Amino acid sequence: MAEHNLLGEEGEKIAIQYLKSKNYLIHHSNWRMGHLEVDIIADNGEEVVFVEVKTRSSDEFGAPEKSVDEQKEKDLITVADVYLERLNIEVPVRFDIIAIVLNEDSSCLTHYEDAFSGILNFH
């Protein structure tokens, strides 16, 4: 497996442990719909939280969270809509990003709650 894939998997494990430590209930990790995927689907007791995890070995080429672009947001909203419809869930939802910089020297996790809206702005 490629090194960046291993880094991504490690980041997702760290994110899951972090969310559990904050009393989130983890429903799914790497939930797929066709070629689209959401890294973590969790519940904080008030809403379903769809989490995109971005892990980098450094922020030399920009912060990890900056790689969640408009297309990725649209894809996550699409996956969330299908997930909620398939399970017949009608509760508030939130989209979070967990950015992790992880290397041999240090690690840093930043949790961006409500990182973007579930309402799309089409031009």
Instruction: Determine the Cα–Cα distance for residues 107 and 117; give it in Å rounded to an integer.
Output: 28
Domain residue spans of the chain = 3-116
Q: Say which CATH topology domain 3-116 has.
A: Trna Endonuclease; Chain: A, domain 1 (3.40.1350)
Those residues with Cβ within 8 angstroms of residue 56's Cβ, 6 or more apart along the chain or in another chain: 7, 64, 100, 101, 102
Q: What pLDDT score does 117 carry?
A: 83
Full pLDDT tens readout for the chain, 123 residues: 566 678 889 999 999 999 999 999 999 999 999 999 999 999 999 999 999 999 998 888 888 999 999 999 999 999 999 999 999 988 999 999 999 999 888 889 999 999 998 764 443
Q: What pLDDT score does 40 carry?
A: 98
Q: What pLDDT score does 121 carry?
A: 43
Q: Give the CA-trace dihedral at 70, 119, 44, 96, to 10 degrees.
A: 20
